[in-house]
């Protein structure tokens, strides 16, 4: 049974008289214990797809369901409740509160979900290679460290569904391996993960690959 479904998503953007079709009839499913990689060149519609899946943007046609609840075209309060219950969202930026340290960001996320666990927080920081940066604020982190801290914060509440946009874009191969291990641990626990990525290493560890081109899924 799918925990996330998208049915025939279309999304259009307009600048003056020009129209761009960012998504053109995209359908997909995500099941528990599955890692799905979404791949495609820049401008293929990956980020737009993730925004529609998480309810941060509305499709112009089609709809999204999360754990059998409708996400598309619902009141914002209803979408927020659904996101907080079912989704962990890792975007390319803006995942950390700038005035909090890495450890404080983790604690805040866990407390919001009613799941604070100091031992789990320490394990997460160790797993993403940031145990030594727990007291650093985001301004003192490198790009790669910021990406890893954002992932740890997103995983803090152990969300049933993780949606991640280029989580390994700014890390070296060794660090990427540690992050992939986090995704595989989720798979072993029966949790679902959908990742937009350019990384072939990450894609090789996925259960399925969805390839986008010009807003459409490319079938083999």
pLDDT recorded at residue 220: 47
Distances (CA, A) of 219 to 30, 124, 157, 182: 17, 37, 35, 29
Question: How many domains does the structure of the chain reveal?
Answer: 1
Rounded to whole angstroms, the Cα distance separating 101 from 91 reads 19
pLDDT tens track for 59-116 = 999 999 999 999 999 999 999 999 988 999 998 878 899 999 999 999 998 888 777 7
Mean pLDDT of 195-216: 94
DSSP class of residue 94 equals -
Domain that holds residue 24: 4-217
Is the per-residue pLDDT at 156 higher than 90? no
Q: Please tell me the distance from the alpha carbon of residue 196 to that of residue 211, in angstroms, as a whole number.
A: 10
Specify the CATH number for the domain of residue 135. 3.40.50.300
């Amino acid at each position: 049974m799918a925990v996330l479904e998208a049915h025939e998503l279309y999304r259009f953007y307009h600048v003056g008289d020009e129209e761009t079709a960012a998504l053109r009839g995209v359908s997909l499913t995500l099941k528990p214990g599955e890692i799905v990689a979404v791949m495609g060149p820049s401008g293929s519609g990956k980020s737009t797809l993730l925004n529609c899946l998480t309810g941060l943007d509305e499709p112009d046609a089609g709809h999204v369901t999360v754990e059998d609840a409708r996400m598309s075209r619902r009141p914002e309060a209803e979408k927020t409740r659904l996101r907080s219950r079912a989704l962990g969202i890792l975007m390319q930026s803006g995942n950390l509160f700038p005035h909090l340290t890495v450890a404080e960001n983790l604690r805040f996320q866990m407390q919001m979900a009613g799941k604070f666990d100091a031992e789990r927080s320490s394990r997460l920081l160790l797993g993403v290679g940031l145990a030594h940066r727990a007291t650093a604020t985001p301004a003192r982190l490198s790009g790669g460290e910021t990406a890893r801290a954002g992932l740890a914060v997103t995983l803090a509440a152990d969300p049933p569904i993780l949606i991640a946009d280029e989580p390994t874009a700014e890390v070296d191969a060794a660090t990427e391996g540690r992050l992939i291990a986090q995704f595989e641990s989720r798979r072993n626990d029966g949790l679902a993960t959908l990742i937009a990525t350019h990384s072939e290493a990450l894609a090789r560890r996925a259960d399925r690959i969805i390839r986008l081109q010009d807003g459409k899924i490319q079938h083999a």
